[in-house]
Amino acid sequence: MNEFFDTISVNMKPATGLAHVSESQETFELHRVLPPALKPLEAISANFYWSWNPDGTQLFRDLDPTLWDICEQNPRLLLKKINKLRLWQRAADTEYVERLKRFDAKFNEYLAAKQHEASSPRIAYFCAEYGVHNSLPNYSGGLGILAGDHLKSASDLNLPLTAVGLLYRYGYFRQRIAHDGWQEETYNDIFESELAVSPVYDSNGERVTISVHIRGREVVAQAWLARIGRIPLYFLDTNVEQNSDVDRLITGHLYGGDTETRIVQEKILGIGGVRLLDKLGVAPDVYHLNEGHAAFSTLELAREFLKANPEANFADAVENVRPRCVFTTHTPVAAGNDMFAPASLTACFSEKFITSLKLTTDEFLALGRSDLSNNEEYFGMTPLAIRMCRSANGVSAKHGEVSRGLWLKMFPDLADADAVPITSVTNGVHAPTWIAPLFQSLYQKHVGTDWNEMVRDSDAWAAFIYRLSDAEIWDAHMTLKSLLISFIRERTRAKETGLLNTINEHEDTRRLFSPELLTIGFARRVAAYKRWDLLFTDLDRLLKMVDDADRPVQFVFAGKAHPQDRTAKTILQELMSINHESNWQNRAVFLPDYDQEVAKYLVQGVDVWMNVPRRPMEASGTSGMKAAMNGALNCSILDGWWIEGYNGENGFAIGDLEADLSDEEMDAADAEALYSTLENELIPAYYSHDERGIPAEWVRRMRNSLATLTSQFSSDRMVTDYLSNIYTD
């Protein structure tokens, strides 16, 4: 174990239930002693609450702005590295110390608020990834960010929720683009840096561990705790001395391994997760399996039931487990669901485990089949979850419908897909995390500090947005756009550029981008269905827009390709190598290493957020919601959340809702619709400034977007929906 952790001692009171987190008395020692006036920074840095409070973030940045960026916004690392003189200067700065005191008081008040236990069941939330903040590299993309936002809203709404995940030692990959435009991956060893997680000890001072039987051995996993405001997020980690080298790497990489590693990870998460909660004394009323990765947890609950009720059979166990479990599916295609070969599964689950469920191996394997008559079918985590949970839901209305069609085959008695018991809860994003501090302070100035509570009341929120002046909205947006442009120039500056002169590296970035120009953002995973190449269908037509003398357009791109997806990497390389005799080189950039930090600059600074997936592949999409909350206009295919969000005035819709076309015909039709929307609607609206220098028609749409989409797509609304429609029976 890394020496950093050795210097931390955390005395947690024995866990006695969900309330223990706010009661825990811990001593959290850094490598160094902070001046007494700065002491509160230790506890503040140990809870991610600061990360969704601009005044909290500002406290760390103001310690040393340059170092803050070098440390990639990681407070624990900053506090370790910052030079002593600097610390003592801040400690002597009365304005700073006052601010720190105020934030510390607010933080403690937040933690101390009483939970309304009676009004909510106790919830356990399981997910394979969590995107809470960049300084906790535990996510790859949308699923993780959604889970992080879910926890933050559960915290703000003060729900009794405990989360469980895996601590990946190497996290997800960091992206680099080589001179030839090819994506390269690197992994950081998180144990060399400092994380805001603490080891969990029991009342005897022993490290809390669980074990799971894997490949003939007992694999041990130790528990860590991250604090997400009022919500405890526990991680399991197999990197312990008792384990073999291979087993220590089970929780090595997020989505990096082969199928077998994947099953084993999912065993640790699902089965180990249930065991961990038992050990901690957490007794959930509801287990929420966010995506199928954690579906093995239902088998562990069944095993526990059968152990306590030796005369019962598996059907009895299902009757006991189903009412306690709910499941959310996140993908609209069968291939996107985890599937394991029967042999891989039986290699990972012992006879003993299967027998303890009172099942034969065939019956066990059938739990993961969608078609019970097909003995060859792979074991799917989604069929397992649908069978073992009392409720299943998709993540937008459309995705609910698509999922009902996809899983109809599991219900041969049902006449049509409408009757399939899969509902939907549309995703949302955490407003205080994603709305730019500048807009937050504008809101705060007008409504007081509780602007986020007003977001929960959609009518009051809309009325408030209509009281802001055009100039207030436009000026805030233009300031944010300038910040984005500085960020772009900084991120793309390179000492030496490569042969291709790619759009992710520039020697001279001064001429790159202009705040006056219409700026379109496109950032998402590089995958075929996201259609990165749609924009380039007719390059001449695109470049005509980019080069236009009076009304030019500029583009900013970002996104990672899966390390094993060569097709996706080729798409990226092609984008990188468009090297045209035009303004393209100065008006298009690719920002490497798309993560939460890059996402924030993008969604807060662009004029337009573009999304052109092939219907109906976008289960929900959440980045467009983040952009909408910052006044950017969505220009998107009517799919996922946008079907629900678009009202004709608050952005732009590309293509029709339904069409009976082949993929090729659909791509051509959508490309045409995209170009003509840009040329005929979007560009003219953006460039018609009135006598005040404000594009009034544009601001009218921005206002409509801010007013109609913020409440509807906030994760507070989402978690409230889960509470009333899913968690509460």
Ligand X SMILES: *Cc1c(COP(=O)(O)O)cnc(C)c1O
Interface residues with ligand X (CB under 6 A) are 141-142, 145, 524, 594-596, 599, 621-624, 626
The Cα–Cα gap between 276 and 164 comes to 9
Q: Which is nearer to ligand X, 298 or 622 (CB)?
A: 622
The region, left, alpha or beta by phi > 0 then psi within -120 to 50, assigned to residue 693 is left
Residue closer to ligand X (CB basis): 188 or 361: 188
Residue with tokens 């006044």: 631
Q: Cα 154 from chain centroid?
A: 15
Which residue, 18 or 608, is less far from ligand X as judged by CB?
Answer: 608
Cβ atoms within 10 Å, residue 23: 13
CB of 315 to ligand X, least distance (A): 39
Residue closer to ligand X (CB basis): 141 or 292: 141
Least distance from ligand X to the Cβ atom of residue 612, Å: 12
Min CB(3)–ligand X separation in Å = 31
Q: Give me 98's structure tokens.
A: 């006052």
Per-residue tokens: 497: 């550029």
Cβ–Cβ contacts within 10 Å for residue 596, how many?
21
Tell me which residue of 276, 230, 233, 279 sits closest to 23, measured CA to CA. 230
Residue (142 or 256) nearer to ligand X, CB: 142
Pairing of strands 608-611, 633-637: parallel
**Which lies closer to ligand X via its Cβ, residue 596 or residue 711?**
596
In angstroms, what is the minimal distance from the CB of 333 to ligand X?
15
Strands 183-186 and 174-177: antiparallel
Pick 80 or 525: Cβ nearer ligand X: 525
> Based on CB atoms, which residue is closest to ligand X, 331 or 573?
331
Token digits of residue 265: 């990870």
Nearer to ligand X, 288 or 626 (CB): 626
Residue 504 is classified by DSSP as T
Of 545 and 627, nearer to ligand X (C-beta) is: 627
Closest CA to 527 of 466, 609, 613: 613
Most distant CA atoms of the chain, gap in Å: 82
What b/e readout covers 58-84, taking b as 16+ CB neighbours within 10 angstroms? ebbbebbeebbeebebbbbbbbbebee
How far, rounded to the nearest angstrom, does the alpha carbon of residue 543 sit from its chain's CA centroid? 34
The secondary element (H helix, E strand) that includes residue 519 is strand 518-523
**Cβ atoms of residues 339 and 371 within 8 Å:** no
Give, as one character, the DSSP assignment of residue 32: S
Closest separation between CB of residue 618 and ligand X, Å?
Answer: 7
Q: Which is nearer to ligand X, 235 or 594 (CB)?
A: 594
Tell me how far apart the alpha carbons of residues 617 and 174 are, in angstroms, rounded to a whole number.
26
Least Å from the CB of residue 132 to ligand X: 12
C-alpha 188: how far from its chain's center?
19
**Other CB atoms within 10 A of residue 257 CB:** 15
What is the C-alpha separation between 549 and 532, in angstroms, rounded?
A: 26
Distance between CA 280 and CA 356 in Å, rounded? 24
User: Between the CA of residue 106 and those of 57, 218, 299, what are the distances in Å?
Assistant: 14, 45, 42
* Residue 609 beta carbon to ligand X: minimum distance, rounded to whole angstroms: 9
Q: How far is the CB of 508 from ligand X (least distance, A)?
A: 29
Cβ 594 to ligand X shortest distance, Å: 5
DSSP strands (E only) in 334-401: 339-340, 379-380, 391-394
Euclidean distance between CA atoms 244 and 219, whole angstroms: 9
| Smaller CB separation from ligand X, 276 or 526 | 526
Q: Which is nearer to ligand X, 155 or 622 (CB)?
A: 622
The first and second tokens of residue 440, run together, are 């937050």
Closest distance of CB 133 from ligand X, Å = 11
CA 565 to chain CA centroid, nearest Å: 21
Whole-number minimum distance, CB 559 to ligand X, in Å? 8
Q: How far is the CB of 627 from ligand X (least distance, A)?
A: 9
Residue placing its CB nearer to ligand X in the complex, 160 or 428: 428
Q: How far is the CB of 138 from ligand X (least distance, A)?
A: 13
262 SS3 class = helix
Residue given tokens 């706010």 in the structure block: 22
Least Å distance, CB 624 to ligand X, is 6
